[in-house]
Amino acid sequence: MIRALLANAVCWGVATLLMPVVAHSAGAAPVNVVAEEYPPFLRSSRDGLTGPYADAFRLLMARQGLTINYQAMPVRRAIQLVTTQGNTCALAVNFAPGEAETGIYVGRVAPITLVVYTLSHAGNALSNIEQLRNHTVGAINIAEVRDLLGTAGIPFIPVDKPSLGIPMLKAGRFDAFISDVRPEVQSGRTPLLKSFTLARVERWVLCNAGMPPATLSAMRKALKEGLFALDTQPVWHTYAMDGFFLDTRRQWLQAQPQ
């Protein structure tokens, strides 16, 4: 009796796992996914994009029966493409209120930390947002930064290409630079000081407004734990980022609203 019940449960489990695959694989066109390079998480490759974000996203979508075609491009072009081209999504973009009126933010993919950097030899002892007021501030041009600095009435120089921010800081264009880019990726030998953490926000998947509801529903389901679902651990392992994966799971997923 118990064996029969177990067999039944296994069959049911397998059927449940296969159901979305069957539902989506029948004639569903691959979803075009565009993104800007974001080392070490996203790098352009012969196949479009690689890195833990790209591989984990592909894996999670495959579990829902969705196939992905990747293309690397600057974020502005990626967002423009999402608003004009059907069956297209942008991966790992920042939230912007204006884009939310013309595209659909389907799910969170990863947390990011906005950090205030200064040059360690510059002698700027900054520890809170108020202290930025008397300095030349550069920042990545995202809605959350605009909101935080705008609310505090602190002017800043927006940097559209985040990878240019640290070089601009080194060149003395700003006293402080606010970014989510991991400085070890691009700081070289110049010592950078992580003055303080400004905020923790998230990166998203933004899709075309005409995306079929069934596809959106499958994507929402797949992204419940962003790109840090347990299923994606082998992906992070191949990039030797197990520690980062586990830390992020512990800190980010536990903090998320249920």
**Whole-angstrom Cα distance, residue 173 to residue 45?**
32
Q: Are 154 and 218 in contact (CB under 8 A)?
A: no
Binding other proteins (rule: CB under 8 A), the pick from 13, 150, 172, 188 is 150
Question: Nearest approach, Cβ of 24 to other proteins (angstroms)?
Answer: 15
Q: Does 104 bind other proteins (CB under 8 A)?
A: yes
From residue 24 to residue 63, the character string flagging contacts with other proteins as x (rule: CB under 8 A) and all else as - is ----------------------------------------
Judged by CB under 8 A, does residue 19 bind other proteins? no
Closest approach of Cβ 28 to other proteins, in Å?
16
Residue 191: count of CB within 10 angstroms of its CB:
11
Show the site string, 56-95: x = touches other proteins by CB under 8 A, - = not: ---------------------------xx----------x
Residue 190 identity? T
115 interacts with other proteins by CB under 8 A? no
Strands 137-140 and 48-50 come out as unpaired
Omega into 40 within 30° of 0, i.e. cis? Answer: yes
67 touches 26 (CB < 8 A): no
Nearer to other proteins, 24 or 108 (CB): 108
Closest by CA position to 227, among listed 40, 52, 31, 17: 52
Look at residue 152 and give its three-state secondary structure.
helix
For other proteins, the binding residues (CB under 8 A) are: 83-84, 95-108, 143, 146-147, 150-151, 153, 155, 158, 202, 209-211, 213-214, 216-217, 220, 256-257
